[in-house]
Amino acid sequence: MQDLSLHILDIAENSIAAGATEIRIKIVEDTGKNLLLLEISDNGKGMDSKTVQQITDPFFTTKTVRKVGLGIPLLAQAARECCGDLTIKTEKGKGTTISACFQCDHVDRKPLGDICNTLIVLIASNPEIDFIFEHRKDDDVYTLNIADIRKELDGVPLNTPEVIKIIKDDISAWLIIANNMLQ
C-alpha cells in the first residue's frame, strides 16, 4: 500500500462489509506533538473478542473466499514502522473504531496521499452511507457531513455526477489550503 489514503479506503471497505450505515473518517495532524492520527469508526456489526485477538495475526480472516486477512495488519505495520501503533475498539452489534497513530516526521511515514479520491470513491459508490469526514490540521478543521448534504438534496441521489463534483471541489479546496499550511 503506497500511501495512507489507500489504507483509509481499505479500512473503510471493512466497515462497509460490516454493514455500517455511518462511517466516520478522522485525520488529525498535530505538528506541535509531531503526531498524525487516523481514525475510522463505524456502526457496523462489530467483532467478538476472539476475532479482535486474531485480527493482528496476518494469517487470519473471517472470510471464506481467501485465507489471509491483510488490511488491518498492513496498517498496523505501517504505524509501527514509524513509532506509532494501531488500536481496535469494537463491540459486537454496536460498531468498530480503528485508530492508527504515526510519528509525523518519521522518515518511514507514508504520505497521506490522495485523500480526495479516496473519499469520492467511497461516497459515490455508497450513496446510502452517511460518511463524516473530519480533518484537523493544528488549529484548522474541515468537516464534511454527507447526512447534512443528503438532507439538502431532498431526494436527488447523492451519486448524481453534479453532486459528486461539488463535493469533490469542496474537499480539494480544503486540501489545497491544508497543504499550503505545511510550508
Partner 1 sequence: MARLTIEDLKKIKDKQKATFSLREGGYRAKVTVHMGTCGIAAGAREVMTVLLDEIAQSKAEDVITTTSGCAGLCAREPMVTVELLNKPPVKYGDLNKEKIREIFKEHVLGGNPVEKYALVVGSETTY
Ligand X SMILES: Nc1ncnc2c1ncn2[C@@H]1O[C@H](COP(=O)(O)OP(=O)(O)O)[C@@H](O)[C@H]1O
5 binds Mg ion (CB under 5 A): no
Residue with the closest Cβ to Mg ion? 71
Q: In whole angstroms, how close is the CB of 93 to Mg ion at the nearest point?
A: 20
Q: Is residue 71 close enough to count as binding ligand X by CB under 6 A?
A: yes
Interface with partner 1: number of residues (CB under 8 A): 47
Query: Rule CB under 6 A: is residue 63 a binding residue for ligand X?
Result: yes
73-132 binders of ligand X (CB under 6 A): 73, 96
Kindly state whether residue 50 participates in binding partner 1, applying the rule CB under 8 A. Answer: no
3-state secondary structure the chain: CCCHHHHHHHHHHHHHHCCCCEEEEEEEEECCCCEEEEEEEECCCCCCHHHHHHHCCCCCCCCCCCCCCCHHHHHHHHHHCCCCEEEEEEECCCEEEEEEEEECCCCCCCCCCCHHHHHHHHHHHCCCCEEEEEEEECCEEEEEEHHHHHHHHCCCCCCCHHHHHHHHHHHHHHHHHHHHHHC
Binding-site ranges for ligand X (CB under 6 A): 14-15, 18, 42, 44-47, 51, 55, 61-63, 69-73, 96
